[in-house]
């Protein structure tokens, strides 16, 4: 008897090509499966060459990279750190690891990223933050010209959370390379994956060298095991790095397919006044990691209705990130609103938004099915 189960259409699942196995097999063949090794060194070199970041340290997760980045910028107990509110919690959890104080900055409507206006308000209220963590949400570059200008005026370093935006550019330059420190993620659903892993990048070799030392338990250069400071077990393994090397070979292909998915949705919903696709920054090129839509306020169709209709056909979708200033764990933290009224830009996007299936393995038929389900909700 044939199964009646419907094909699962994913939000964004890993896409393997075969080159990954070649590098992993090499690690097994040489018995170099422990942390560090040729794949780690080469993956760092290849990411640095692709992004023109200068120097790179391969780590166990993007979260680990943010944590070490904050430590390298001197963030410690009681320090204030400005961070985007509309993001995943990994952007701000490491601030709390260091017993520092996150202050959340609202989005602006043009790109959904950190609002320069709200950032200015934050500096007026907290004139001496230790760092600013800027997120490129869903792969769309933030308004870096304005944000960099504000941070330079106040002499505060930027940690660029490019976890979702590898391959995105701003004025022709790769995201992740504008701040003093940048971070990429290779989690399973990212544009390329190592199954789990991340990268800390910087134009300053000394910072990356320090990150490598801290990520390998901060062992002193002695014959015996000696430690003069606290370190972390954050280094990427040679096997995992092999997956990343194979994936990186296909990053441009993934970018092309992700951008085609966004364009397909944009064209398919162009005649539906109630739907707006997530905005892109005209000063750059987004990697379109996830394609998202918002529904006009007051429409009888809700984001939950869209997600329920898709799930009924075994199609994965997701709400927009719930802003961090609305999370119970950060209820005591301050938030600077882009708007003058009570409703923030980030909360409004969360209330009205849906992340659509953005898997590069989706066929034309898959895309037709997703689009058809959404269109039927608005054209009854």
Closest Cα to residue 293, out of 310, 273, 272, 276? 276
**CATH numeric code, 19-248:** 3.40.640.10
Distance CA 196, CA 190 (A): 10
Q: CATH: 3.40.718.10, 3.40.50.300, 3.30.70.100, 3.90.1150.10. Which one for 251-378? A: 3.90.1150.10
pTM (two decimals)? 0.96
The answer to whether 105 touches 85, Cβ cutoff 8 Å, is: yes
- What pLDDT sits at residue 1? 41
* Range list of H helices, the chain: 19-29, 38-51, 62-72, 93-97, 116-125, 144-153, 205-215, 238-248, 251-268, 303-311, 345-352, 364-378
- What pLDDT sits at residue 32? 86
- What pLDDT sits at residue 4? 59
- For residue 13, count other CB atoms closer than 10 A to its CB: 17
Per-residue confidence in pLDDT tens, the chain, 380 aa: 444 578 999 999 999 999 999 999 999 999 888 778 999 999 999 999 999 999 999 999 999 999 999 999 999 999 999 999 999 999 999 999 999 999 999 999 999 999 999 999 999 999 999 999 999 999 999 999 999 999 999 999 999 999 999 999 999 999 999 999 999 999 999 999 999 999 999 999 999 999 999 999 999 989 999 999 999 999 999 999 999 999 999 999 999 999 999 999 999 999 999 999 999 999 999 999 999 999 999 999 999 999 999 999 999 999 999 999 999 999 999 999 999 989 999 999 999 999 999 999 999 999 999 999 999 999 86
Identical fold between 19-248 and 251-378: no
Cα–Cα distances (Å) from 208 to 94, 102, 222, 251, in that order, read 18, 24, 21, 23
In the chain, domain spans? 19-248, 251-378
């Amino acid at each position: 008897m044939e199964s009646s189960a419907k094909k699962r259409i994913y939000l964004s699942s890993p896409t393997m090509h075969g080159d990954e196995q070649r590098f992993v097999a090499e690690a097994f063949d040489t018995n170099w499966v422990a942390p560090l090794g040729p794949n780690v060194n080469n993956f760092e070199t290849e990411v640095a060459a692709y992004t023109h970041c200068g120097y790179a340290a391969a780590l166990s997760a993007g979260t680990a990279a943010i944590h070490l980045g904050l430590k390298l910028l001197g963030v410690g107990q009681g320090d204030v750190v400005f961070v985007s509110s509309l993001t995943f919690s990994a952007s701000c959890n490491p601030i709390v690891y260091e017993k520092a104080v996150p202050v959340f900055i609202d989005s602006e409507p043009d790109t959904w990223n950190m609002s320069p206006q709200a950032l200015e308000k934050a500096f007026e209220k907290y004139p001496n933050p230790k760092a600013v963590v800027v997120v490129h949400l869903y792969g769309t570059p933030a308004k870096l010209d304005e944000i960099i200008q504000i941070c330079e005026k106040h002499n505060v370093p930027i940690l660029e959370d490019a976890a979702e935006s590898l391959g995105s550019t701003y004025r022709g330059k790769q995201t992740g390379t504008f701040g003093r420190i940048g971070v990429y993620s290779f989690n399973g659903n990212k544009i390329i994956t190592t199954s789990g892993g991340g990268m800390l990048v910087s134009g300053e070799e000394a910072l990356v060298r320090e990150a490598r030392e801290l990520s390998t338990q901060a062992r002193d250069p002695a014959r015996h095991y000696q430690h003069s400071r606290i370190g972390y077990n954050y280094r990427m393994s040679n096997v995992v790095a092999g997956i990343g090397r194979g994936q990186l070979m296909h990053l441009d292909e993934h970018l092309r397919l992700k951008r085609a998915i966004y364009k397909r949705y944009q064209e398919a919903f162009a005649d539906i006044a109630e739907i707006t696709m997530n905005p892109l920054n005209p000063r750059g090129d987004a990697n379109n990691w996830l394609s998202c839509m918002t529904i006009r306020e007051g429409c009888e169709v809700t984001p939950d209705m869209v997600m329920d209709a898709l799930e009924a056909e075994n199609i994965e979708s997701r709400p927009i990130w719930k802003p961090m200033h609305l999370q119970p764990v950060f209820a005591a933290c301050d938030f600077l609103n882009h708007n003058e009224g009570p409703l923030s830009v980030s909360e409004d996007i969360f209330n009205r938004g849906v992340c659509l299936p953005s898997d590069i393995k989706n066929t034309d038929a898959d895309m037709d099915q997703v689009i058809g389900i959404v269109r039927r909700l608005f054209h009854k």
